[in-house]
Every structure is written in C-alpha cells, then in structure tokens.
Amino acid sequence: MGVYTVNDPPTASSVVITPNNAAASDTFPAQAGETYIIDVNNAGGSPDSVAVDDPTSVAPSGATAFNPDLTISVTNGTRRQIRVDGTRHRDSTGNITVTHSFTASVTVVVTRAGRV
C-alpha cells in the first residue's frame, strides 16, 4: 500500500509533478469539501479497474445490495481522470482509498481541484 502525494495545480509551466506507481491498494489524505482529480495512466497490457472507496454513503431503505464505491475502467494504453469528492470518499482517518485490479506500468497523479 502506498500513499499518494496530493499536488496543487501548478501555477507555472516549469513545475514537474512526479507520478506515483500504483499498488493494489493506495490512499491519499483528503479534506472534506475539497475535490480531487485522480489521473490514472495505464501503460500496461491489461485493463485496470480502479475503485474509489465510499465509506460514508448509507444504503437506501429496503436495499438488498448496495455498494456506493466509484469504479472506473482504465483500458490498457489509455489515461483517465477521475473526479472525487473529499466529503463522500474520505474515511474516518481522513484518507481516500483507491484500489487497482492491474498495477504493472500504471501510474497515478492526484491533484487538488478546489472546493466543492
């Protein structure tokens, strides 16, 4: 498990942001009321199913099955940006958990997008 660095949007073009190598389960610190962009670059040979845990949503009354996690497929050879809400996805320790089904040649950059 790794901890992603949260980057602020660069204010100058000379700012270099180093991607993190994806692990099966990673976290990053988040603030309630903030929005984050998770940029997943899958340069590997298989699709990566990226899941962002949602520990706060409550099942609707009468639901027989309920999983509010956000799951996005990042096809091999592509890049996706996933917008997440710090209030919805933040756990009791203040972190957001991101899991990957495929990690070879997958890198991740997390950027703070601003207030919701």
Sketch the domain layout of the chain as residue ranges. 2-8+20-56+69-115
- Listing DSSP states for 54-96 in one string gives --SPPPPTT-SS----EEEEE-TTEEEEEEEEHHHH--TTSEE
CB 81 within 8 A of CB 38: yes
Cα separation, 71 vs 99, whole angstroms:
9
Per-residue pLDDT at 116: 54
Q: Which pLDDT tens digit goes with each residue over 71-81?
A: 999 999 999 99
CATH class of 2-8+20-56+69-115: mainly beta
Hey, CA dihedral for 66, 103, 95, 92, is it positive or negative?
positive
Per-residue pLDDT at 18: 87
CB 22 within 8 A of CB 105: no
Torsions phi, psi of 86, nearest 5? -60, -30
The tokens for 113 are 């997008």
The low-confidence residues of the chain, meaning pLDDT below 50, are none
Per-residue pLDDT at 10: 72
Cα separation, 75 vs 94, whole angstroms:
29
Per-residue pLDDT at 56: 84
Cα separation, 108 vs 21, whole angstroms:
6
